[in-house]
Structure 1
Amino acid sequence: MLVDSHCHLDFPDFADDLDAVIARAEAAGVRTLVSICTHVSRFDQVLAIAERYENVYCTVGVHPHNAQSEGAIDAQKLVALCAHPKVIGLGETGLDYFYEHSPKNLQKKAFIAHIEAARETGLPLIVHTRDADPDMIGILRREYAKGSFPGVIHCFSSGSELAQAVLDIGFYISVSGIATFKNAQGLRDTLSGVPLDRLLVETDAPYLAPMPHRGKRNEPAFTVNTAHRVAAIKNVGEDVFNAASCDNFFRLFTKARRPDFASKALFEGDAPCG
């Protein structure tokens, strides 16, 4: 079994064949999916998909690209929306200085509001960071000193300094299809030093399809390709990595339920993670 810890099932890319996308994921052994919110204003659409499929969960949050267009982020509104049983995390949030679609100061304010909500609810923070490592490290360290909160750096593509900083505060690191790209040896070198019990795997679908699907629309079934490569990076068997990443996910996302293998014929022949 695998978990796609980060995808965007509400995006228009999946509007015409979402049932088939979910079915292909299940057939590939990807039995739990998390559809990530990028606009609080569109949260109802994200939640509707999570409510439609038993094996899909969701988050609530504002992507740093949208920190300006979404307006001031109210931590208490985020907390209230987290009460729904299908909402298992906060984000994605963070800092993106590569595109800087929203001013840096607004990205930082929105990020801190999400941190406050994560601290209050105990739900994990899903963090996006690009070309912003010094500010990301500084904010996480300062905020963590005020009170702990769980989290994961999604689609990790940075170096060892950020990796160590987030591991030091108990965060997890999620690996996307980037780790399979030919020019990503530096990333693979960094991932080789991340403890197995801190790794998750994701697609970020519809983006970043892993090899050998690069250039196509990404989808949750392709989680298996990234997991295959990460197992090789960690020098462990695929079954070992898959079980570890699955256990890591449910340890972090405590509101998510493990699939009931005994009750679904679809799961026959699989071993529960852990």
Structure 2
Amino acid sequence: MLAQQRQQAILERVRRTGGVRVAQLVRDLGVSDMTIRRDLEVLAERGLIVKVHGGATATGTGSTEEPGFAAKSVRQQAEKEAIARRAAMLVRPGSSVALSAGTTTWTLAHHLVDVPELTVITNSVQVADVFHRAGRPDQTVVLVGGVRTPSDALVGPVAVAAVRSLNVDTLMLGVHGMSVRAGYTTPNLLEAETDRALVAAAQQLVVLADHTKWGTIGISTIAALDEAGVVVSDVGLPEEARTALSEHAGELLLADPSGETELETPLETALETAL
């Protein structure tokens, strides 16, 4: 396959799925890692894709743009892993926890499979699959129904009706963006409605959002900043965001992808004292 043909194939895949991984392209196209990275560089220089760690995603940043699960899974992987590790420390054995859809909550799910006697409520096909594969007999996993979105969330009237009948200790909420004015947002109107139902069903709201989410605004607001008892982000969060979240949210926890330091606001951890 000629370079131009290969690059066109890569571009078509990015446009179709929202994102690609270098490792998968190497396997599928039968070329070296270096060749794929060179192809991605060419496409990025032409403004056709956006290079990210481990792959590439589609261009576009509108308030209704909703990247697919594959696209989001290659973004800020180290930060999401650090956030997931820190958030998992807030979940106690025997508790009930809801996980919204998203790649950060999906990463968190991998850390929660070892928590005994956990009851998990989720509208994410991907999150439910993590627990299903682990197969712990002492964990109960409830996957609500609904219409599937590009990010593999189940949303709509069926999902909302199911969630409204439930009560959970904690909601781990992944978001598309957050700001002082708009709060925690998503680009999908139906997903926002389902997420709002999850917020209402939970005693405690924990928002998981890496530093790139600050200043990004989706078309629909899920919750105001001050509705979150805890926000778990990473040390890349800008100072203005730290100040705003410390003032509005109950507590701000900052995870360090390097593992060297983990920061938190002077307030005591709301979840740790509540549970």
Instruction: State if a TM-score over 0.5 links the two structures.
Output: no
Normalised by the size of structure 1, how large is the TM-score? Answer: 0.39
Normalised by the size of structure 2, how large is the TM-score? Answer: 0.39
Structure with bigger RCO (C-alpha 8 Å, 6+ apart): 1
Of Structure 1 and Structure 2, which has the larger fraction of its residues in strand? 2
Pick the structure with greater CA Rg.
2
